[in-house]
Every structure is written in C-alpha cells, then in structure tokens.
Structure 1
Amino acid sequence: MAAAGFFNRFMALRTATFVLCFVSMLAELQRIDHSVNSDSLRFLVVGDWGRKGEYNQSKVALQMGRIGEEVEPDFIISTGDNFYENGLTGVDDPAFEESFSNIYTAKSLQKPWFNVLGNHDYRGDVEAQLNPILRMIDHRWLCMRSFIINAEIAEIFFVDTTPFVDKYFTHPGSHTYDWSGILPSREKYLSNLLKDLDLALKESKSKWKIVVGHHTLRSAGHHGDTKELVKELLPILKANEVDLYINGHDHLVQHISSLDSELQYFTSGGGSKAWRGDYDLNKEGLKFFYDGQGFMTVEMTTTDAELIFYDVFGNVLYKWSTSKQAYKAI
C-alpha cells in the first residue's frame, strides 16, 4: 500500500509538472475566469505572512476570518513572500501546511487564494510554489509567475516583480536565488512580460484594472520606491489607466495617491512580522501609513470601490472610496 501511494504521488507530480510547463509555453500571462454571483466583487489582500503562525501571523489570520464572515470574499490575494525565510524546499515541504493550510482555517477563507512570488520565495524552490500538485494538498492554492484573473467587474493583473530588481542578481549577499525560468535570458523574460502586460491592459474592457506585484512602486516604508519598477512598469500602468497597484514587500499597510494620474498605490504587507520603525511620513502623495500588522478588504461594483485596512485586532484603520463617475466629472 505504501509503495502504491508513493507511485500515485509520483505520477501526480509528473503530470502536474508537465501541465505547468505546457501552460508556461502557451503564454506568459494566462487568463483565468472567476465569475462572481452578485453585482459586487469582494476580496481580501494580505502579504508577507508565511511564518508558521509566528510574529502574530495567526492573529492576523483570525481577524481575516472574522472580517471575512462579514465581507464574504470571492477570493483572497497574497502579495508575496509566502514562506519565510527561504521559500519552500519542494512540494513536500511541511512549511506549506504549517504556514498556510494550518493557519488560514476559517470557513470564510476557504476560497481561492491567488498568489504572487516575493523575493523570499525566490530564495527557495520556485517551481514548488508554482507546481499544481500543491492544489492536491490544499485546493485553495494557485500561484503563477504572472497571470490575469478576470472577475468580470475587475481584471486583476498579477506581475512577477522580483526579477526586475537588479540587486538580487548583482549583490545577492549571502542569499541564493532560484532563477530557473529567468536566466540565462533575464532581459528577454522581462521584455516579454512587459509586452504581454501592456497588450493585455490595452485589450481589457473591464471597468476596473488592478495590478498586483510583490515589490513597492511607491512607498514611505523601509524599502521605498523600487526604481526598476518605476522605470519599466509604471509607465505602462499609467498609459493604460490602471486604477490600483497593490503590493507587499514593506511590512505595513499604506495608501499613496498619484499626483499625475488616477493610479492609487496600496501596500498590504502586514501579514506577520512588522514594526520596523523605518519610514518617511513626508512621502509625496502619502494618504495613510501604519507601520504594523494588518490586511485589506476590497469591494467593487461597476461604478464604486471601497478599500479598508484592518489591524491585527480587527479594528478599522483606514477607509478609502472612489467612483468611476467622479473620474468622468473631473
């Protein structure tokens, strides 16, 4: 029986790996349709969380579940750094269940989780997080390098931001990064990604365009602006009238407003370890900043959107709302 179980798991792994590779060859940005059953779209956003429940990860998860009962989310978004400190070692790494399945146990969180990779995830076996076999362990998990969720009211474009950052290649320090699928042609990988994203945004007919990445574009926190993304990614977002850029990386929650477009920057990276104490409250366009743990909810209709930050105790920290009708009146 044990041998049969091992064989079945091995064959499932081979099949899942083949499917993953086949999808990757088809397109850089796979589109996934996720229909909603109402006239509004609701989801939660959390980032920088995977610490086996430590650093208040379990407490944030508890409040996500409680707020989730009220919000009834269609899905949850992770902004990356899913497993600390060094990603997963493989598809059989117990950290997957210890930091994910065993932590986010609330009934309201038993929805699809759409995940991007962070820099800490790249320090482990990247292909493990991308491998569909993890969905056999926990059906909620979906992680790809870059992809699109078509949720009718909004299209959400997930972007693999880590390969943009030069220092991970030129000055990695004591860390080792898994660049399989990126090297030896990093430039080609990034060029294709930007081209595919630009085309997908241009072709989008959605009322709302949201881009999700791990790294900051604008931030008053420790990491500040990511200069490579400001140079390469930001012009595409502005040219295609993207509404929201949502990220993690800085372990906090914040809102920065663009001064030359309608683009709004939201950081939701407070899923576990936080309170670094290194920030710039004079940051241009800064609307809200909280150097602590928390998460975000998003609710949208075809005309209106409301985003709310909650802290580790489930208290409302900040609310922001906007209207497409207001944009047209400007």
Structure 2
Amino acid sequence: MASKNLQNIILLYKIILICGLCLVYSKAELQRFEHPIKPDGSLSILVVGDWGRRGAYNQTEVAAQMAKIGDQVDPDFIISTGDNFYEDGLTGVDDPAFEESFSNIYLGPSLQKQWYNVLGNHDYRGDVLAQLDPILRKKDSKWLCLRSFILNTDVAEFFFIDTTPFVDKYFNNPKDHKYDWRGVLPREEYLFNLLKDLDTALKESSLDWKIVVGHHTLRSAGKHGITFELEERLLPVLQENNVDLYVNGHDHCLEHISSPDSPLQFLTSGGGSKAWRGNVRPWSPEELKLYYDGQGFMTMKLTKYDVYIQFYDVFGNILHQWSRSKGLYFV
C-alpha cells in the first residue's frame, strides 16, 4: 500500500512538473516583429558586432564606413550581433555609455534605421535588463534589443537567439566576472523552451530564406573557435530545418565558412571595434572562404530568389563577396 502511494506521489509530481514546463513554455514563445521590404521586392541590411567602446579601437571609423556604404545600399535595417557595450554591459538605463557608444557614434543618415540587437556575453556582465528596457527606445528610437525574437519580412525570416546562456563556462567558471542571469534561471528550463520555440518557429516558416542570428560562433577559425555547446544543441536544429545562414559575432573578425555537408553558411561579423590581429586557427581551405582579422562589417541583400553578401574593412574596401540562388549553390 505504501509502495502504491509512493508511486502515486511520483506520478503526481511528474504531472505537476510537466504542467509547469508547459506554462513556462507558453510564456517563452518568441515575440514577432514585422519589417517591410522595398517596393522592388528586395531587402538590404548592414550587420556589425562587438562594437560598443565609446568610439575607441576604430569604432568611429567603422561607423563612418557603414554610413558611406549605407548611402549606397540603402539599408532597411541594421543587425547587431551582440557585445553591444564593453567591457561589462550597461550599469542601468541612465548609463552614459548608451549614448557614448551608440547614439553618438552611428550618426550617418543611412544608419538612422531600426537596429535589431542581440545580447553578447559582455552585455550579460552588466545590468542585462537595461538593454531590454523600453526606456532606451524612448532615448533612441532606432534601438530594439530582446533576448530572442523573430523578425518577419516578405522575403526572409530572421530568428534572433540568445546564445550566452548556452555556454557552460559563464556559469561554472566565471572567474572575476559577474553575470546577470535574471530571466534565465533555471537555466535548463530556459534553454529547453528556447530551443523548442525556435524549432517550432522554423518548422512553421514558409518564407524563402531562414536566417538565424546569435552572438556566439558555431564555426570559426578565430580566437574563440567553435562554441561546442551550440554545436551540440543548436546546430542540429538549424540543420534539420534547412536554415540558410547563421550570422554571429563574438570573434573579433570577419569570416565566412561554408558547411561541407549542408547549404548552411556561417558568417561572422564581429569587427565593429577592437580586433584580434593574428588570432587564426587552422581550417580547411575548402570551407574557409574568408578570414580577416581586422575591423569591418557585412552587408546582405535578399530577394525572393537570391542572397548577396559582402564584407567590408574599416577603409570601405570589399574583402569578400558571395551569392546564392535558391536551387543553385555557388560556393
């Protein structure tokens, strides 16, 4: 009888646990935004990452080149791949670093478009909720930052993913750093819900291009290299759902790696300010299409049938370009 009661208690606990997960999952569903494309059916984007240093380490020079190229390509919006404010994020919504590293730096007319931002590991070292606070949008209307969200356009769907909580060392060996895990704990529950939401959203997507944006590297010949937690948990979701591009920062370089076993391309745009000269790991030349260990940024142009990528250095020179048409792969 006691054994049967124990079994009933265990069963009840499992039911409560499952229901609890369902409640958390329903609250964790990814928020969606819509962004129009141009009348000709195209979409142009600037991509920059690892930038927020109050103009130092050539951040101002990169911003100036972004503005010049922006005048040519007329971006519909700008993507930031994270590490928005160094070294330790923002101290709060009134931190002057917001203006000194963002509003006062990206001044060109072509940069006064909507910025869609993800968080990086350095952002988690400060008041992480400050970057998510609507007060910053009131200070500068082009700022929009969430942990994870979906951006719909008529030609492509963008899935912005919060990658920092995946990385074990930030929890197990933070060294002298303090990370703001409000809204993330319990961690495994958070990651389970995020991957579930992403998988569901990717499966439901009917658009021609699927692009996932995160801060951390999946494939990289740079200093940080492969983020093994993402390789184990995120990469299978991308491959199963035929994602076209994974766009990231984290390594302070510009990089294009082609997947050997799928159409998935890995694009690193982390050259917004401080670069790591000489930090390059050996990589297969058949896969490594670009590695540049300096500052710069990336542009993307998409139509229903084509995607066109260009990488620029801090002087505005084109370092690399790549294109793909649906059904035809150019590598």
Residue 180 of structure 1 is aligned with which of 179, 182, 188?
182
- Flag the 1:260–1:144 CA change in 2: closer, same or farther, 3 A: same
Aligned partner of 1:95 in structure 2 is: 97
User: What displacement does 1:277 show?
Assistant: 1.5
Q: Secondary structure, in 3 states, of the residue corresponding to 1:265?
A: strand
Counterpart of 1:310, as a letter, is Y
1:42-121, aligned counterparts within 5 Å?
42-121=44-123
Counterpart of 1:197, as a letter, is L
Q: Secondary structure, in 3 states, of the residue corresponding to 1:326?
A: coil
Contact between 2:253 and 2:270, CA under 8 Å: does it hold in 1? yes
Counterpart of 1:312, as a letter, is V
CA distance in 1, matches of 2:232, 2:53: 32
CA distance in 2, matches of 1:118, 1:93: 18
CA distance in 2, matches of 1:161, 1:124: 16
CA distance in 1, matches of 2:290, 2:166: 27
CA distance in 2, matches of 1:45, 1:236: 23
1:117-136, aligned counterparts within 5 Å?
117-136=119-138
Q: Deviations over 1:197-217 (max 9, x none)?
A: 000000000100000000000
User: What displacement does 1:37 show?
Assistant: 2.7
* Larger Rg belongs to: 2
Aligned partner of 2:139 in structure 1 is: 137
Residue 289 of structure 1 is aligned with which of 260, 280, 291?
291
Runs of 5+ consecutive residues of structure 2 not aligned to the other structure: 1-24
CA distance in 1, matches of 2:203, 2:210: 10
Q: How many residues align?
A: 304
Aligned partner of 1:275 in structure 2 is: 276
- Flag the 1:215–1:52 CA change in 2: closer, same or farther, 3 A: same
Aligned partner of 1:254 in structure 2 is: 255
Aligned partner of 1:216 in structure 2 is: 217
CA distance in 2, matches of 1:86, 1:276: 22
Q: Deviations over 1:283-323 (max 9, x none)?
A: 46211110110000000111111100000001101000111
Q: Secondary structure, in 3 states, of the residue corresponding to 2:93?
A: coil
Q: Secondary structure, in 3 states, of the residue corresponding to 2:290?
A: strand
Q: Secondary structure, in 3 states, of the residue corresponding to 1:202?
A: helix
Q: Deviations over 1:66-115 (max 9, x none)?
A: 00000000000000000000000000000000000000000000000000
Residue identity over aligned pairs, in percent, reads 67
Runs of 5+ consecutive residues of structure 1 not aligned to the other structure: 1-23
CA distance in 1, matches of 2:29, 2:136: 21
User: What displacement does 1:281 show?
Assistant: 3.8
CA distance in 2, matches of 1:252, 1:283: 18
CA distance in 1, matches of 2:311, 2:149: 25
1:308 aligns with 2:310: yes
- Flag the 1:264–1:241 CA change in 2: closer, same or farther, 3 A: same
Aligned partner of 1:166 in structure 2 is: 168
User: What displacement does 1:27 show?
Assistant: 3.9
Counterpart of 2:289, as a letter, is K
Counterpart of 2:82, as a letter, is G
User: What displacement does 1:275 show?
Assistant: 2.9
Aligned partner of 1:193 in structure 2 is: 194
Q: Which portions of structure 1, spanning 4 or more consecutive aligned residues, are displaced by more than 4 angstroms? A: none
Aligned partner of 1:266 in structure 2 is: 267
CA distance in 1, matches of 2:317, 2:156: 27
Aligned partner of 1:13 in structure 2 is: none
Counterpart of 1:46, as a letter, is V
Contact between 1:220 and 1:283, CA under 8 Å: does it hold in 2? no
Counterpart of 2:54, as a letter, is K
Counterpart of 2:121, as a letter, is N
Counterpart of 2:272, as a letter, is G
Q: Deviations over 1:142-170 (max 9, x none)?
A: 00000000011000000000000000000
Q: Deviations over 1:185-231 (max 9, x none)?
A: 10000000000000000000010000000000000000000000000
Q: Secondary structure, in 3 states, of the residue corresponding to 1:28?
A: coil
- RMSD (Å) for aligned C-alpha atoms: 1.3
Q: What is the TM-score normalised by the length of structure 1?
A: 0.90
CA distance in 2, matches of 1:34, 1:228: 31
Counterpart of 1:131, as a letter, is D
CA distance in 2, matches of 1:145, 1:229: 16
Deviates more, 1:317-326 or 1:241-250: 317-326
Q: Secondary structure, in 3 states, of the residue corresponding to 1:108?
A: helix
User: What displacement does 1:26 show?
Assistant: 4.4
CA distance in 1, matches of 2:35, 2:283: 39
CA distance in 2, matches of 1:57, 1:25: 40
1:1-80, aligned counterparts within 5 Å?
26-38=27-39, 39-80=41-82
CA distance in 2, matches of 1:84, 1:25: 34
